[in-house]
Structure 1
Amino acid sequence: MKKVLVTGGSGFLGLHILFQLLQKNYQVTTTIRSEKSKKRVLDTLMANVSTNLNRLSFVKADLSADDNWSEAMSGQDYVLSVASPVFFGKIKNESEAIKPATEGIMRILKFAQAAQVKKVVMTSNFGAVGFSKKAGPGVVTTENDWTDVNMPGLSVYEKSKLIAERTAWKYIRRPDVDLEFTTVNPVAIYGPSLNDHVSGSFGLLENILSKKAIVDLPLNVIDVRDVADIHIRAMENPQANGHRFIATDDGQITLRQIADLIRKNRPELADLLSTKVIPQRLIKIMAIFSKRAREGQVMLTMNRNVSNESARDILGWKPLTNNEETILMAVDAMEKNKLIEP
């Protein structure tokens, strides 16, 4: 029986990964920060009729310290590095905010190397791939692309994921390191939630459902179950070693289309939707003065013709859902878990 360590198993994506691994009969360990997290994970998996819970164990470990990582890694065949530092409030020192992400993945890799783990799969981000590539006729964004770390308007979160992934690949290519390594680079993650913990991408849906005017941004989206599936396929498939995989549904969807979709298919929420649209030209003007507007301008100008061919061809993956279904399931999860303010 293969053994897998999952960091960040209590999160939106992490819970789906635990659920799928247990269904596939793996022996699974996940890191937690507290006993409260352990109870939350178990309660959530039981509520969703997870199988093989007797094959799930817990180790208390934190990305910011070495404590218990040797124990967590001992005897593991694979590590799925899903956990990521969370940003709260206004960031005053960008370098200090980015540092934990880099130190976290390096801690994972070094302890995995010492424990002779076979492979590490890192959850990176599309922000490390395609934010610098501009839209144009025939332009396609693939895993060969990298975001420019110095580009104006790149958020601290995206920059932290980019620098952390760059640092990880540099370590993996050292001659004294023999870990297999793969990254998964998801776009905005939506779809169903196993509890009331959702991804940061849901903030856009919260804005749409708060009667606020809409900035008609285009988005690439992905069902969380697909992101979990891609992680596990990348872990299992020897051909995935050394590759990055963009996780995205086919095509794209705009915030305005999302609002129209909700209005048509969830009419009980129609009163929460604004009919006002902020012109894109206004965002460009505001970007001169506002950091947040500059981040919005990046979203407006980046290329949204994004390829998922590597995941299809190498991993044999195909999307469970389309953009519209992914969004509607996310809205249903928000309703179910009372995440929509009336």
Structure 2
Amino acid sequence: MARVLVTGGSGFVGSHTIRRLLADGHAVRATVRSSRPAPLPVETVVADLTSDDGWADAVDGCEYVLHVASPFPAVEPEDENEVIVPARDGALRVLRAAHAAGVRRTVLTSSFAAIGYSGVFDRPYDENDWTNPADPLPAYVRSKTIAERTAWDYAAEAGLDLVVINPTGIFGPVLGSGLSASVAQVKAMLDGTMPAVPKASFGVVDVRDVADAHVLAMTTPEAGGHRFLATTEALSYLDVANILRRRYPDAPLPRPRTRRPGRPTQDVRHRPHPHGPRLETPLPRRSHPRHRREPALTSQMRVRPVDAGRTPATTRRDPCSACSVP
């Protein structure tokens, strides 16, 4: 078994990836910010995407690096570089440290944000599609696109073995105390702070499938040099609320948002945000999102996806505290 570095070990995807690695018998080291220790018992190193400090120690002795960490703004920043710069430069710091340490392969967590926010309306999206970062898009979408492009450019220049995972909206059970944006939306539905939902859809993938994809991307020889779209199907906000309503009938779950007289309905952009569309960002109405139903993951790396119709309900045991895997 190998020693693996996981960046962002205290996060939603990072903690599930660590859990899967430990179950497979790998030795795991995780980078964390000092204020958020990893929720699982692994070796930790403090390292920040905005600083060179700590990265050489973090990768020392590791055979693989899974770079999961990336900044996600709670609200749209006034200066987009608050998100873009740490995402891009942080990826470069990790890749450079991995290359200097002679790791066998690096797996980068990107997003559907880097695939499907520009100009595809006549067919499903796939791994050949790219968001154009020059388009007027939210800072997070541009940050993921720019960071992934930068990572591929560096990998080509340095001869680094790189694989990229591009998930859509990630839902599922929580291992730590922090809530991702997607889990926070489920919590808001369950506790009544989201009383109504917009008419919008987004792609859904189970966090455990995303973790499996990272580990298989690490160990599958033929995955090198490829990106993998991780998704199952599109759900609307109302679909998610109805799934939760079947499991938690007494919860104050939202109903469809009603249209105000004389005011046109505004929808969030149809292409799914990686953690669900931003409620506060009205964009022109489009058709429903379409993705390829992950044949690359299922055929090349044998991921067996969890049914999207069940995933949102697994997000909650107690949405106000840390949750365990059912």
Tell me which interval the TM-score lies in, with the shorter structure as reference length. 0.7 to 0.9
Relative distance call for 1:4 and 1:303 in structure 2 (3 A) is same
Cα distance in structure 2, aligned partners of 1:310 and 1:87: 30
**Deviations 1:125-168, CA, capped at 9 Å, x for gaps:** 110011224444xx11110000121333x211111011000111
Relative distance call for 1:90 and 1:184 in structure 2 (3 A) is closer
**1:302 shift after superposition:** 6.4
Structure 1 counterpart of 2:124, which letter? Answer: V
Cα distance in structure 1, aligned partners of 2:145 and 2:105: 20
**1:90 shift after superposition:** 5.0
Cα distance in structure 2, aligned partners of 1:299 and 1:318: 33
Relative distance call for 1:332 and 1:107 in structure 2 (3 A) is same
**Deviations 1:267-313, CA, capped at 9 Å, x for gaps:** 011x342343458952169xxxxxx7894436844632333111112
Cα distance in structure 2, aligned partners of 1:62 and 1:247: 27
User: Map of 1:124-139 to 2, 5 A cutoff?
Assistant: 124-136=110-122, 139=123
**1:254 shift after superposition:** 1.1
Please, which of 41, 44, 54 is the counterpart of residue 58 of structure 1?
Answer: 44
**Correspondence for 1:198:** 179
State which drifts further: 97-106 or 304-313. 304-313
**1:87 shift after superposition:** 2.3
Where structure 1 has 5 or more consecutive residues not aligned to the other structure, the ranges are 46-52, 286-291
Please, which of 220, 223, 229 is the counterpart of residue 203 of structure 2?
Answer: 220
Cα distance in structure 1, aligned partners of 2:172 and 2:307: 10
State which drifts further: 84-93 or 309-318. 84-93
Please, which of 238, 245, 251 is the counterpart of residue 256 of structure 1?
Answer: 238
**Correspondence for 2:20:** 20
**Correspondence for 1:307:** 293
**Correspondence for 2:283:** 297
Q: 1:284–1:293: 8 Å Cα contact kept in structure 2?
A: no
Mapped pair 1:143 → 2:142: no
Cα distance in structure 1, aligned partners of 2:209 and 2:185: 20
User: Map of 1:259-278 to 2, 5 A cutoff?
Assistant: 259-269=241-251, 271-278=252-259
Structure of larger gyration radius = 1
Q: 2:238–2:255: 8 Å Cα contact kept in structure 1?
A: no
Mapped pair 1:166 → 2:152: no
Structure 2 counterpart of 1:219, which letter? Answer: F
Relative distance call for 1:232 and 1:164 in structure 2 (3 A) is same
**1:213 shift after superposition:** 2.4
**Deviations 1:202-231, CA, capped at 9 Å, x for gaps:** 343345442532212112111111100000
Q: 2:201–2:289: 8 Å Cα contact kept in structure 1?
A: no
Structure 1 counterpart of 2:94, which letter? Answer: I
Structure 2 counterpart of 1:259, which letter? Answer: A
Percent identity of the aligned residues? Answer: 35
Relative distance call for 1:333 and 1:241 in structure 2 (3 A) is farther
**1:89 shift after superposition:** 4.8
Q: 1:188–1:221: 8 Å Cα contact kept in structure 2?
A: yes
Mapped pair 1:97 → 2:96: no
Cα distance in structure 2, aligned partners of 1:122 and 1:144: 17
Q: 2:165–2:230: 8 Å Cα contact kept in structure 1?
A: yes
The structure with the greater share of residues assigned to helix is: 1
Cα distance in structure 1, aligned partners of 2:308 and 2:267: 27
Structure 1 counterpart of 2:36, which letter? Answer: S
Where structure 2 has 5 or more consecutive residues not aligned to the other structure, the ranges are 269-277
**1:99 shift after superposition:** 0.9
**Correspondence for 2:104:** 118
Cα distance in structure 2, aligned partners of 1:294 and 1:275: 16
Relative distance call for 1:296 and 1:236 in structure 2 (3 A) is farther
**Deviations 1:73-99, CA, capped at 9 Å, x for gaps:** 112110000111242555122234311
Relative distance call for 1:88 and 1:284 in structure 2 (3 A) is closer
Aligned residues: 311
The normalised TM-score by structure 1 is: 0.83
User: Could you say what the CA RMSD is over the residues aligned between the two structures, in angstroms?
Assistant: 2.6
Q: 2:231–2:291: 8 Å Cα contact kept in structure 1?
A: no
Q: 1:215–1:278: 8 Å Cα contact kept in structure 2?
A: no
Cα distance in structure 1, aligned partners of 2:217 and 2:236: 29
User: Map of 1:228-247 to 2, 5 A cutoff?
Assistant: 228-247=211-230
The normalised TM-score by structure 2 is: 0.87
